[in-house]
C-alpha cells in the first residue's frame, strides 16, 4: 500500500509497488483495456490517500499529464474511478471506488444494453437475409441474455462481497 499523510509530499514508488503496478497494468491490458489505464487503476487501488491529484499520478508513473488525462477520463467513463474537485483548487483529483469490480459489471451491463439496441435496430432496419440475418439475431439474443445474466451476477457479487469482506475501516 502507498501511504502518506494528506499534506505530505508525494510518495515515491518502492520496487514492490512498481512491480505490482506494472503486473496489474499487464493483466489489465490483456483484458482488453489500455495499459496506462491499468497503471493508473493499480496506483489508485493501493493508495491510502483519500484522493490523488493528477499531477501526482503523472509524476509517480513517469508519464505526461496528457496520458494521465486520457486514462482517467476512460476510467471515470467506465465507472472504475471517481473524479473529485476541491473548492478553490483547479487540479483534478481521483479515487478508486471501493468496489471497482461491481463498477465493472455495471459498466459492462450498460455497454451490453447499448449493443443489444444496435443489433436490434440492424435486425429490424437492414435488408439482411440468410446467414447474415441469423448472425445478427444470434448476436442480439446473446446481448439480451448477457444483460439479464449480468444483472444477476451483480446481485450475486454484492451478496458474496458482503458475506466475505468486512466493511472498510474509517481512516
pLDDT tens column, 109-140: 888 999 999 999 999 999 999 999 999 999 99
Q: What pLDDT is recorded for position 36?
A: 98
Three-state SS string over 34-82 comes to CHHHHHHHHHHHHECCCCEEHHHHHHHHCCCHHHHHHHHHHHHHHCCEE
Which H helix or E strand runs over 18?
Answer: helix 15-30
- 454484492: which residue's cell? 158
Handedness of CA 2, 8, 12, 15 (dihedral sign): negative
Specify the pLDDT at position 5.
Answer: 47
Q: For the whole model, what pTM was predicted?
A: 0.77
Query: Which pLDDT score, from 0 to 100, does residue 100 have?
Result: 85
Single out the residue of 13, 96, 98, 27 nearest to residue 60, CA to CA.
13
CB 2 within 8 A of CB 11: yes
Give average pLDDT by consecutive 10-residue segment, the chain, 171 residues: 53 90 97 96 95 96 97 92 92 92 86 96 96 97 95 94 90 60
Rounded to 5°, angle at Cα 97 from 32 and 81: 55
Task: Please choose, from the candidates 25, 92, 109, 89, the residue with its C-alpha nearest in 3D space to the C-alpha of residue 57.
Answer: 92
Amino acid at each position: 500500500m502507498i501511504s502518506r499523510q494528506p499534506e505530505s509530499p508525494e510518495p515515491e514508488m518502492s520496487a514492490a509497488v512498481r512491480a505490482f503496478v506494472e503486473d496489474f497494468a499487464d493483466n489489465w491490458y490483456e483484458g482488453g483495456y489500455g495499459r496506462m489505464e491499468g497503471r493508473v487503476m493499480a496506483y489508485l487501488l493501493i493508495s491510502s490517500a483519500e484522493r490523488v491529484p493528477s499531477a501526482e499520478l503523472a509524476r509517480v508513473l513517469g508519464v505526461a499529464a496528457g496520458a494521465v488525462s486520457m486514462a482517467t477520463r476512460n476510467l471515470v467513463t467506465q465507472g472504475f474511478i471517481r473524479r473529485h474537485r476541491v473548492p478553490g483548487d483547479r487540479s483534478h483529483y481521483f479515487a478508486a471506488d471501493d468496489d471497482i469490480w461491481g463498477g465493472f459489471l455495471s459498466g459492462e451491463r450498460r455497454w451490453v444494453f447499448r449493443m443489444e439496441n444496435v443489433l436490434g435496430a440492424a435486425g429490424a432496419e437492414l435488408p439482411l437475409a440468410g446467414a447474415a440475418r441469423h448472425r445478427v439475431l444470434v448476436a442480439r439474443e446473446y446481448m439480451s441474455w448477457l444483460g439479464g445474466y449480468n444483472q444477476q451476477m451483480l446481485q450475486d457479487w454484492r451478496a458474496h462481497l458482503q458475506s466475505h469482506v468486512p466493511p472498510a475501516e474509517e481512516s
